[in-house]
Structures are given as C-alpha cells and as structure tokens.
Structure 1
Amino acid sequence: MTVTISRHPFPTENAAAGLSVLENSMESLIDGLEVDSTRLGDAFQLSLTLAKSHCLLDAEASRLPTWQAWVNAMQVGSATFATTTAPGGEIRCRIAEEERVLQATGPQRYSNPGAWMTAFYLAVICREKDRLTTLCQVPVPLLRESGAPCDEFVYSWVETLQAYWLGGPDLGTKLVAALDGTAPQSSHISAPETTAKLLYPPMEIFHRLVREDHAGFNRALAESIRWHKEYWSTEENALQATGLVALAPLAMTCLAYDASFSIEVTSEYLPIALLERDWPGEYPT
C-alpha cells in the first residue's frame, strides 16, 4: 500500500523571480572559481539551494533546467573535495557544462563531514559512480582538519557510507556506532532535534536497506519523511528552501530503487524523476 505525504505549504508567488536571482548569483560564483577556488564553499551551498528551489515549481523534477541545477550542485560538491584533497597545483573539474581549472586549496572550513555527506547524496541521486568512488576515498582525518564543529557520530556515518560503497570491512560495526551515537540519552549530541528528525532517519532507512528488509525500509522511509515535514513546517524553518527536498532520504531511496526495492512512499520531498533516474545520461556530466 502506497503512502503519500504532502509537502508543507511554501509560497510560490515570487518563485520564478527568485530562481532568476539565484541563477545569476550562481553563474557569477561559478565563473569566479578559477580565480578564487576557496569560494567553492559558498558555491556549494548556493548550488544546492538553487537545485532544491527548482523543485518548488517542478516537484517531480521533470524539467531539464531542474536536472541541470542538480547536476551543477553535484559537480560543485565533487569539486569541493577534489580541490581540498589534491596535494597542490591545478585540478580540472567539469562544472556547469564547462571544464574549469581550479586550484588545490587543502582542507578548508567548508570541507567538513556535513558537506561530504551532501556531496555523497548528490552523487548518489545523479548516479555518478566514479564520483562516488572518489568521494569515498577522501580520508576521514582530512574532514576533521576542516575544524568545523561536528558530533562524533557523523564521522561514523561517513565511515559507514564509505565502507558500503567501497565494499570495505566492518560496515555493520560502523553503522552501529553511527546509530548508537544518535541515541537521545547521548550527552554528545549538539542539536538533539536536528539529529532526531534529520540525521538519524536516513541511517535507519539505510539500516533496513542493507538488511534487505523491504517492509522495514518503507516504514522507515515514511517515518523519515514525516519527521522531515515536521521539522521544516515550523514558523522558524518553513520558508527555507532547504526543506523542499529531503536530500538524505532521497539518496537512500535511490540506492534502494536501484537495488530493485519496491518504493511505497510518494512525496514532493522525493522528486520522482530524480528517484527513478529519468535524467542520467541526458548529457555529459
């Protein structure tokens, strides 16, 4: 039985004009990356906002400009870690349909575990296997060098995803460490509500995925989307474009879809064209 979960209300009156402003800012940022590659952190945040904002008026992600925005965000995410892991010199990265010559930057504040997870999720959604392999070879100690504050369980989650994609050992041990680190009684959680409603749910979805528990997967996915909606429906959060798409649950669902799971949850938070890989291969990425 399919469960449908609607997206929280979001104003659309000025959406087209807002997209135009974001696109112009994004184009300017990307064009400036060859001069100052440390702007990748800003470019990554803005490109993700733009990709999700496209889904306000195109909830299924069925239009080409929406796919282009998601590809651009994925490319910027990959470039972020290509430049921070390179030993030095120039790095060639394809971004926004052009090859850009960027500079190695070393670890930066923006090359943190949260950004790595976002880059991973985007590469999963865009079905970019080579980029996923490269991202999963980023050393976790390098993410620590970013200096950004981060709960310890997040590092365990990064290690879990890397072990899963690369077929590394101790996947189960790493996943248990990540799940245990999110327990409400843990004294090391800096943002309990965010952890409970946004960070833990994708781990539980993934847990059901690797156990090949199809029914449990769909239950966990539905619960995750309900928590996502609850989190982004508050007065404080409701007008943030970040909440328009449930990025991590979408990525986990893409993995399940590609593993021939029957997906029994539908929602604007899970754009169907991204989930069902309608666009990969449309043009070189």
Structure 2
Amino acid sequence: MNPVARSVTGDFQVWQEQLAHIERLLKVVRDRTPCAEDGTDLLKDELRRAQVASLFSEQQTDIYDALSRAAGAAQAAMVTQQRWRRYEDDGQVELQEPDRPPRLIPVGDARLHWPTWVQGLAAALITRDDDALNTLCTPESIEACSLPTSHIDPFWPFYCSALAAAVVEPTAASALIADATTGLNQAKIADPALIQLRLRPVLELVAALATNDTDTFNTALHKALVAHRQLCEQRDMYDWSGLFALEATALAALAHDRQLSITVTSDYLPTALVNGDFPRDRAHVIYHFPQRSILTADEAHWFLDLAGFPPQARSHQLLNNNGQLIARYEAQNAPGLPHAIASFALIETSDLPNPAPLLALDAGQLLFLAEAYASDIPDDEQQANARINEAIACVNAVLARIPPDQAVVPAGTITSARGQQLYQTESGRFRRDRLVAYRDALAAHHSSSHTSSVQLSPHEEASSTADPYDTAIAAVEIIRANLMPLLAALAQDEQGTVLAQIMPQETDYEQVFIGDAIAIARQAYQQFWQKTRRFQRPAASQSEIRCYLAPAGMLRDDNELSFHFPKGYRAIAEYLNPHRVWATWQYHSPGQDTGINYDGLVWVEDHWAWFPKPYRLLRIN
C-alpha cells in the first residue's frame, strides 16, 4: 500500500503563532478559579497543541507532553461530570499535572459530550493511560456524556460504546458497531462529510481490529487515512483538527499493543505514537468525596464496598480535627474511579443534631448492601459467616435510622438515587417489623449457605407460635438475596446455559402445583419449553434489576407482596402450592421506571424452576 502523504497548506509562521495562542489559552484556564469545565477545556486545548506541534520536527516532545496532559484532563472531566450527573456529589476532582500545582476542580457539568469523549479516549489510548481508560470506558461514563436528541444524533452513544468495547471487551463490539452503523445511516445533525470520511472509516477500523488479523486491519487503516486526508482537503487551510489522524492513530496503537504489525505509513500516523516509543509523564486524578458522618466504623467500609473499591486496595489513617475523630481513607481500583480519598467523621446516634449531618449511607443503600452481602455467600464457612454478619449489621444500621417513636424509616432521610428507587418500588421493606423479620431470618440461618431451609415444604404447616406474615416476610427477604445473582447471570446468558438450568424438572410440577393443575401444567409447560428455547436478554443499558417475591398463598388477594405481580395470578392462586415462593422481575436502565418484565420463577427445595405466565397456560387449559 502506498504511503498516505499529509496535505498541509498555509504559512508555517501562522502555525507557530497558533502554538503561542494555544499556550495563552492554556494559561487562562490554569490561572482562573477552578470550575467544572476545566478538564474539558484543558483536553481540547492540549489536543490542539499536540496537533499543531506535529508540524514541527523540533517540537515532537510537545506532542507527547500535550497528549499525556490531554488524557489526564479527559479523566478529570469524566469524573467531574459523572459524579455530578449520576451521583449528584459535591466533591472535588484533584488534577495533578507534571510540574504544576494540584488543581481542585468542583464537581459539576464539565460539558464533556460524546464527540469530545472520543478525543479523550484517543489520547488515553495513545499514551497508554490505564487510569484514564478505566474511567472513560464504563457504560456509566458514556451515559453521562449524553445530550438531548435535539442537539446531537442518536448514533453517538453506540459509536462511543463500540470504541469502548474495542478497548475492554472486543467480543461485544460487533453488535455495537452494527447499531452505530444503522444510526449513521439515519443521522440528521452531524456533517455528512464527517460521517463519511471519519466516523464510518473509524467504525470499520474497530471492526477490523476485532478480527485480530494483521492484513485486515492494515487494509482498513489505509482506507481510514485516505478518507482522513480527503476530509482535511475540504476544510480551511488553518484547520488544525486533522494534522494527524487522532482516532486512527489511537486504534493503531491499540492494535500494535495486541501484537498486530502495522505496515501502513503516513504523516497522519506518527510512528512513535503507534509504537508507544516516546517519553511521557502522566497526569494523575484523585476524587475527593465530600466528608460524611458515620455511626459505626463499619459504615466507612460499607461505603467503599458500595463504591466498588476492593478491600485490599484501601488504606486509612485516623486524624484529630478539633477534637473530632476523622478516618481518612485512600482507595484505588473501583470501576470508573481508579483513585479516591474519603473522609468520615464518627458520631454517636445520641449526638445527631437536627437536621442530621450528611451520613455516608442512607437506609436504602444499607438495605441494598445487606441483600448484596446475603446473596454472595462463598463456600468457605468462615467467609460465609462473615458475609452474613455483614448483612445483619447493615440491617441493624437501617433500624438505627428509624426514630424511636416511629415505625418506618422516614422517606426524607433517603437521599441517594439507589435508596430512593428501592423505597419507591417497595416502601414496606423499610418498616421496622419487616426489617426485624429479615434480620432475625438471617441470624437464624447464620451457618447455612442454602435458602431451602427458609421455605416451608409443600406438606408442612407453619409453626403455631410463628406469625404467618412474619414467616412469609423472612422467607421473601432471604430468597430475594439468593435470586439476584441468578437474574444477573440470566441477563448475560448468550449460550443458554443458565436458561437450561432453570427449566422445570420432572418432579417440580408436584412441588409447585396442586390437584388437577399438576397434570395440566406438566403438559402445557413441556410443550412450551419444546418450542421456546431462548431468552430475550435485556439491552446492555438495562443493567439494573427490580425483583419482587411472594408465597403463592399470598397471591390470592391484594397485599403488599402480591401488588407487584400480574393480576392474572389472583385467578390461578388456588392451583398453586401456597408455600412456594414465586418471583417477578424487571430489567431496566438506571433511573427508568419501565423495562423488560418477566415472572414465574419458583424456588423448589434447592433450585429455581421457571414457569412463565402460569395464569395464561392454566386458564387456557
């Protein structure tokens, strides 16, 4: 393949003046009072500096320095925007650039949108900045860059997701490339020349990278560079944005690191950037959580668990701040947040002022954590006991947040998005009696990693001393924790392995149905599963799960457990073993009320069996 020569016009003195102007712009940003847009502004200006410097052989080190700073600025902008948009934090993002004082950027709208995200990703790939890639390549980060469809074409999130998948999960890229390509064909806002000569060739380059074939990739790379030159020739002679092919260079660098030999040569494709053979001093980004209060030392650990920081990647020190004990944690390697600092003030429940200070965790987050701990029980008995103890302690922490004269967690004290969602979907779980029942059920089965002992067998009556309602609540809460990992696995079940495990066994029908319904259900579901051997998996964006459970005996009438089930269950409840616990669930996108709904999973002694929509099959028969 012939080399792709760079087409550059204009007076080089003008280009030198551009460099001086860029330096002045950077100085303005760095000298002003820190604001949320700092990361994005620095990213854009540093990329411009790198592009213009590529014209001058004596200024090659400026390219390397500018790209390294651009990657750090992109990471800072991403953390700034994500913490503002997704978590509504009011913390600070510390940007540590080489040879410059640290800059504390307030959380807010960084104005980092999808096209600029692509540029930041490219800078991070070229400089091999793993922390920046960790931050940029999460679905939450891409979602945080969104704009209304009146301002930007709908293909952009698919385009960005395809690029991110090329970095972190190449096998998932093909479906996203197809979606992005379809979106490009329907674009109405983006410049047609940009789509045809840059965006589409870059997508084809991502597809070629996924083949892991050297010839295929080099062919696509050459085509992308030819298209890049055509686009540059259509633009103003002093347009700096294409002096080298940023996205193509980034993907070539990724291909090089995956042992593909790059045989294409071009002025648009700096060899040192592709090979990684250049000096660089990376910027570092640290997120500072706003200081929070905790009622027990455990709450600091739970907070960091919820944020995704591995226990082995944490360290802390105790500080005395005017008589107030402060625990300062430094943590690393959370998804999308490689480095953070969190400070916690330990206070006594009796010392809580009114209004109460910002607590590290609200009751909704604590209940979520309790279920997470209870659902992830390892085989090792000692570790299993530790997880159950964590779950019990979390429930006790929720109970501590209920005022003595009240019977339920005050709704106004639940301020996190996750907590509010949990409260809005099933507020009854925050009642004192239900929390106590859940805690006691966890304690009663402290040494067991199975949930079958929680559920009464088909022919076993409830103890005369146990309240039937409390027994049902305890069973539901324990079994919910057992079910959530299965639902998450089912959502990712491309090969049908999980689906095969939950198809009804021959003996399940007698355990789940009663009377004449046993034979009817067996015939109906055997025919159903012979025809239906696939599961409509949720979209990648539908990453959250709502799950509701109820014993069949409580599906006969309206109550807080049956409320979330399809009304058809009321009509067939008399044909169901009243002691079996049924589940209905939904996969949905964060913050959305709608999604894909399913029902019919039943806990049968020691496994789950799926009887979808029994109210349809039994009523038909």
Give the TM interval when normalised to the shorter protein.
0.7 to 0.9
Q: Cα–Cα, structure 1 residues 227 and 156, in superposed 2: closer, same or farther, change >3 Å?
A: same
Match of 2:204? 204
Match of 1:162? 164
Provide the rounded CA distance (Å) in 2 between the counterparts of 1:182 and 1:270: 25
Question: Deviation of residue 187 (structure 1)?
Answer: 5.6
Candidates 85, 92, 104, aligned match of 2:82? 85
5+ residue gaps, structure 2, are 84-88, 284-621
In the alignment, is the contact (CA less than 8 A) between 2:171 and 2:210 conserved in 1? Answer: no
Q: Which digits, 9 at most, give the CA deviation of each residue in 1:75-130, with x for residues without a partner?
A: 2222111211122221112235432211101x45x221111111111100110112
Does 2:105 correspond to 1:102?
yes
In the alignment, is the contact (CA less than 8 A) between 1:62 and 1:273 conserved in 2? Answer: no
1:31-180 equivalences under 5 Å are 31-32=31-32, 34-58=33-57, 63-86=60-83, 87-98=89-100, 99-105=102-108, 107-108=109-110, 110-137=111-138, 138-145=140-147, 149-167=151-169, 170-180=172-182
Q: Which digits, 9 at most, give the CA deviation of each residue in 1:198-254, with x for residues without a partner?
A: 1111110110111123212111111111111111112x4332011101111111111
The list of structure 1 runs, each at least 4 consecutive aligned residues, that deviate by more than 6 angstroms after superposition, is none
Provide the rounded CA distance (Å) in 2 between the counterparts of 1:39 and 1:284: 17
* Mean CA deviation greater in 157-166 or 123-132: 157-166
5+ residue gaps, structure 1, are none
Provide the rounded CA distance (Å) in 1 between the counterparts of 2:94 and 2:195: 36
In the alignment, is the contact (CA less than 8 A) between 1:51 and 1:73 conserved in 2? Answer: no
Match of 2:230? 230
Secondary structure of the residue aligned to 2:55 is: helix
Comparing both structures, which one devotes a greater share of its residues to helix? 1
Match of 1:18? 18
Q: Which amino acid in structure 1 is aligned with residue 73 of structure 2?
A: V
Provide the rounded CA distance (Å) in 1 between the counterparts of 2:281 and 2:190: 42
Match of 1:182? 184
Question: Deviation of residue 188 (structure 1)?
Answer: 4.4
Provide the rounded CA distance (Å) in 1 between the counterparts of 2:76 and 2:282: 16
Match of 2:340? none
Provide the rounded CA distance (Å) in 2 between the counterparts of 1:148 and 1:53: 33
Provide the rounded CA distance (Å) in 1 between the counterparts of 2:7 and 2:114: 28
Secondary structure of the residue aligned to 1:182 is: helix
Q: Percent of pairs identical after alignment?
A: 22
In the alignment, is the contact (CA less than 8 A) between 1:197 and 1:224 conserved in 2? Answer: yes
Question: Deviation of residue 16 (structure 1)?
Answer: 2.9
Question: Deviation of residue 177 (structure 1)?
Answer: 1.0
Provide the rounded CA distance (Å) in 1 between the counterparts of 2:170 and 2:264: 30
- Flag the structure with more relative contact order, 1 or 2, with Cα contacts below 8 A and sequence separation at least 6: 1
* Mean CA deviation greater in 44-53 or 193-202: 44-53
Q: Cα–Cα, structure 1 residues 52 and 275, in superposed 2: closer, same or farther, change >3 Å?
A: same
Provide the rounded CA distance (Å) in 2 between the counterparts of 1:25 and 1:100: 17
In the alignment, is the contact (CA less than 8 A) between 1:84 and 1:111 conserved in 2? Answer: yes
Provide the rounded CA distance (Å) in 2 between the counterparts of 1:159 and 1:66: 27
> Normalising by structure 2, what TM-score?
0.42
Provide the rounded CA distance (Å) in 2 between the counterparts of 1:259 and 1:214: 10
Q: Which digits, 9 at most, give the CA deviation of each residue in 1:29-85, with x for residues without a partner?
A: 1232x5333244333322211111110113xx9732221112122222221112111
Number of corresponding residues: 275
In the alignment, is the contact (CA less than 8 A) between 1:231 and 1:237 conserved in 2? Answer: no
Q: Which digits, 9 at most, give the CA deviation of each residue in 1:241-281, with x for residues without a partner?
A: 1110111111111111111111121111111111111125x
In the alignment, is the contact (CA less than 8 A) between 1:246 and 1:269 conserved in 2? Answer: yes
Give 1 or 2 for the bigger CA radius of gyration: 2
Secondary structure of the residue aligned to 1:76 is: helix
Q: Which amino acid in structure 2 is aligned with residue 133 of structure 1?
A: N
In the alignment, is the contact (CA less than 8 A) between 2:166 and 2:206 conserved in 1? Answer: no
Secondary structure of the residue aligned to 2:117 is: helix
